[in-house]
Amino acid sequence: MKRFIGFLKKEFYHIFRDKRSLFILFGMPVAQIMLFGFAITNEINNVNIAILDKSEDVTTKEIINKISSSTYFTIEQFIINEAEIETIFKKGKIKAVLIFEKDFSKNLIKENNASVQIITDATDPNTASTISNYANSMLQKYQQEVNKSIEIPYQIIPKSRMIFNQELKSVFMFVPGVMTIILMLVSAMMTSISITREKELGTMEILLVSPLKPFQVIIGKVVPYIFLSIINAIVIVLLSIFIFEMPVQGSLLLLGVESVIFIVNALSLGILISTISATQQTAMMVSLMGLMLPVILLSGFIFPINSMPEILQVISNVIPATWYIIILKGIMLKGVGLAIIWKETLILVAMTLFFIALSIKKYKIRLE
Amino acid sequence: MKTILYIVQKEFKQIFRNKAMLPLIFALPLIQLIILSNAATFDIKNIKFSYIDNDNTSFSRALIDKFEASTYFNVVSNFSSEKIASSAMLKGDVDVILEIPSYFERDLLKNKKTDLSVIINAIDGAAAGVENVYINQIVRSFNRNAQAKLMQPSDLINKPKNITSITSFWYNKTLNYKTFMVPGILVLLVTMITLFLSGMNIVREKEIGTLEQMNVTPIKKHQFIIGKLFPFWVLGMLLLTIGLIIASVLFNVPMVGSLGLMYLYTSIYILVILGMGLFISNYTDTQQQAMFIAWFFIVIFILMSGLFTPIESMPQWAQFLTEFNPIKFYVEVMRMVMLKGSSTVDILPQFTKTLVYAIVMNGLAVWSYKKTT
């Protein structure tokens, strides 16, 4: 035991002496949470649009005023003919053009019908369809105002209630994701690299001939990162509670336990990666390229899993991060307990055991 | 010149002899391009929809049929009470609950007005917004049909005024998300591979101790750096080429603009990334550090690049910060040239900024590289 503690000390020294890595290890979560909380959002606001007003009458002026006062659109310029649209789209700044037909007011009054053309730059399909939705709902609102005096009979009015996130803050969606990605990468990448580093530098041989048992070596390597990851998790949760007013509806204790399970899961994945790679470069490529993008894209962090093709939905099931994100959202936003998320927890535990078993099987005591 | 060629030769040999790395360098990014481009979509489909029908008339069932017929919604279940429905929502089995009140039909006929209550899981706020729009669309069209049937001539003393709008989607008529994401993810892969490899390369020699041997040779500083970086520049261009082929063959992404412009821009862009990698490896002692720092910057650059989320929605200060993000320029240029056919003049601002960036970055990298330790 004493030997083991000595070894553990060595590992902590390694980590704490490397100031640069340490800075990133703790700076990263803070920077990412701040970015997601303050800067990055998947809402669409302040879209630059242009307007082609062929009638320039009272009604179109009124509509344009309404549009320019909304937060969705910024009117960047007025153009005078359709030919300009191509040029301004190619410059890339303006995403949509609204065209009011000639004699807009006159048509609206005399024929009860006037039309607006919305041309969008659909290279970004999501922005384009959202712009179209926004513009349509604004026009509809205006239309309702015009028709205020007329009571239309037989109306069905859907009343929507947004639950778990009334204000539709995107940070609520991102915090669980950021937490997952940081824990996954810190734990898996750092352990896999620190073990292969000993292999590459040749010091692994020394550790293996020492009286320490191989499993003690591995555990000694892993323990410091468990500590670091837990600290990171705590920092992230504190930041999201105090700066972004993200609620933790469920039990903090459960949140802690689940996080430790996930950290151990990521660490065992890291050990597994280190057993199959000989150099730090390989270990890094596997953990970065093999983990980072799948964790960002397939886990439901940014993109909804439901909308993916069937086969990717199946793949997303084998990514531990997917389950952890469900658990986090459940505890933090929905306030559920173990009664509801036992299945997800069980899957995480099973995956962890599987990774550990596999790495024990692959672990070589002798060097080739 | 001859010296540089020898170093280049050495580097290439090292890359190609490393049998574990080679597949990682080429296969992994391309597999990712293929798989992940399919995953990255903000399209909201297969919404897990459920309903509570307290009215249970042919009229209320007709409304539900409308939802069943829609491709956006996937009617998962119908619940008998709100309590059961909310527990299913907690478990995550459903995302939308539509509750039709009792006397839905009667109220509509008698009071000429009736409400529907809709509960939406809004953890993903953006998706919830879209789901709400879809629900409103379906209800509105159902409502319009009902009105047409129920309206008496006496109801129509005043005809309501109507503003119609027609939307057209340019450059991507079918709103295919892959066309948008494939160029972006390709940018990401080219950047990540070149940055990580160049960032770790020199520091590896440092760590193993072979850099000292190189330093005592008569090889000049610039020869060494050019020799070190050139192979990765080639690698980056190669990845771009393979990626573009996959984009057009597998994903049918159009190449509207000039291919030459694309390559010209990329060749300068990769220099920025290589300079950055070299700079990182000059200031670190171990591969672990180098990679960690590279990772730190790349994650921030990716998130701030407009690749996944729109830049216009960011606050002013954040938009200003993106002006220093080379990945942002590349993502923009790639999409503009490939999808819209923007010309050299259109991308001139991005082009100049990237060029300045390349000069500054490589200048810094060369300046900070010391032959003595």
Question: Does the beta carbon of A105 lie under 8 angstroms from any beta carbon of chain B?
Answer: no
Query: In the prediction, which pLDDT does A197 show?
Result: 83
Q: Is residue B329 domain-shared with residue B227, that is, in the same domain? A: yes
Is B166 domain-assigned? no
Q: Is residue B200 domain-shared with residue B124, that is, in the same domain? A: no
Is B167 domain-assigned? no
Is B332 domain-assigned? yes
What's the mean per-residue pLDDT of chain B? 85
CB contact under 8 A, B158 and A149: yes
Instruction: Find the residue in A nearest to B168 (Cα).
Output: A119
Q: What is the DSSP letter of A72?
A: S
* pTM score: 0.81
- Percentage of chain B lying above the pLDDT 90 cut: 18
Closest in A126, A136, A154 to B112, CB measured = A154
CB contacts of B337 in chain A (<8 Å) are none
Q: Any bridge partners for residue B49, and if so which?
A: B75, B96
Question: Does the beta carbon of B116 lie under 8 angstroms from any beta carbon of chain A?
Answer: yes
Q: Any bridge partners for residue B164, and if so which?
A: A115
Q: Is residue B287 domain-shared with residue B151, that is, in the same domain? A: no
Question: Does the beta carbon of A202 lie under 8 angstroms from any beta carbon of chain B?
Answer: no
Structural domain containing residue B95: 47-155
- For the cut 60, the answer to whether the pLDDT of residue B373 exceeds it is no
Is B160 domain-assigned? no
Q: Is residue B190 domain-shared with residue B233, that is, in the same domain? A: yes
Work out the widest C-alpha separation in chain A, in whole angstroms. Answer: 96
Closest in B146, B169, B318 to A120, CB measured = B169
Query: In the prediction, which pLDDT does A340 show?
Result: 84
Among residues B155, B187, B215, the one where a domain terminates is B155
pLDDT category of residue B154 using cuts at 50, 70 and 90: low
Q: Is residue B122 domain-shared with residue B33, that is, in the same domain? A: no
Q: Is residue B24 domain-shared with residue B80, that is, in the same domain? A: no
Q: Is residue B357 domain-shared with residue B232, that is, in the same domain? A: yes
Decide: residue B203, CB within 10 A, 0-12 exposed, 13-18 middle, 19+ buried.
buried
Is B62 domain-assigned? yes
Arithmetic mean of pLDDT, B59-74: 89
Q: What is the DSSP letter of B263?
A: H
CB contacts of A170 in chain B (<8 Å) are 125-126
Contact status, residue B38 vs residue A308, Cβ threshold 8 Å: yes
CB contacts of A285 in chain B (<8 Å) are 21, 24-25, 28, 196
Q: What is the rounded distance in angstroms from the CA atom of residue A313 to the CA atom of residue A317?
A: 7
Is B110 domain-assigned? yes
B177-208 helix and B287-303 helix, angle to the nearest 10 degrees = 160
Q: Is residue B142 domain-shared with residue B244, that is, in the same domain? A: no
pLDDT category of residue B153 using cuts at 50, 70 and 90: low
Number of domains present in the structure of chain B:
2
Q: Is residue B123 domain-shared with residue B240, that is, in the same domain? A: no
Query: In the prediction, which pLDDT does A365 show?
Result: 64
pLDDT in tens, A63-89: 999 898 888 898 988 998 888 888 888
Question: Does the beta carbon of A135 lie under 8 angstroms from any beta carbon of chain B?
Answer: yes
- Which position has the token pair 């700076």? A27
pLDDT in tens, A25-69: 888 788 888 887 787 777 788 889 999 998 888 889 989 998 988
* Domains identified in chain A and CATH numbers: 2-40+169-362 (no CATH), 47-146 (3.40.1710.10)
Arithmetic mean of pLDDT, B3-26: 82
Q: Write out chain A's pLDDT in tens, 368 residues.
A: 788 888 888 888 888 888 877 887 888 788 888 887 787 777 788 889 999 998 888 889 989 998 988 888 989 889 988 888 888 888 888 889 999 988 888 888 888 888 899 999 888 888 888 888 888 888 888 888 888 777 677 777 778 777 787 777 777 888 888 888 888 877 888 888 888 888 888 888 888 888 888 778 888 888 888 888 899 889 988 988 888 888 888 889 999 999 999 999 999 999 888 888 888 878 887 887 777 777 888 888 878 888 888 888 888 888 899 999 989 988 988 888 888 888 899 999 999 999 988 888 887 766 55
Is B242 domain-assigned? yes
Q: Is residue B220 domain-shared with residue B136, that is, in the same domain? A: no
Q: Is residue B184 domain-shared with residue B116, that is, in the same domain? A: no
Instruction: Find the residue in A nearest to B207 (Cα).
Output: A201
- Which position has the token pair 């929809």? B49
CB contacts of B346 in chain A (<8 Å) are 90-92
Query: In the prediction, which pLDDT does A254 show?
Result: 93
pLDDT in tens, A320-343: 999 999 899 889 888 888 888 888
Q: What CATH number does the domain containing B65 carry?
A: 3.40.1710.10
- For the cut 70, the answer to whether the pLDDT of residue B6 exceeds it is yes
Interface list for B 245-284 with A (CB within 8 A): 284
- Percentage of chain A lying above the pLDDT 70 cut: 98
Query: In the prediction, which pLDDT does A354 show?
Result: 93
Question: Does the beta carbon of A330 lie under 8 angstroms from any beta carbon of chain B?
Answer: yes
ipTM score for this prediction: 0.76
- For the cut 70, the answer to whether the pLDDT of residue B162 exceeds it is yes
Is B351 domain-assigned? yes
Query: In the prediction, which pLDDT does A367 show?
Result: 58
CB contacts of B341 in chain A (<8 Å) are 90
Q: Is residue B239 domain-shared with residue B357, that is, in the same domain? A: yes
Distance from CA of A58 to the nearest CA of B (A): 15
Per the rule left: phi > 0, alpha: psi between -120 and 50, beta: everything else, A117 is: beta
Arithmetic mean of pLDDT, B289-308: 84
Query: In the prediction, which pLDDT does B157 show?
Result: 60
CA distances from B176 to A45, A96, B41, B46 (A): 22, 18, 9, 17
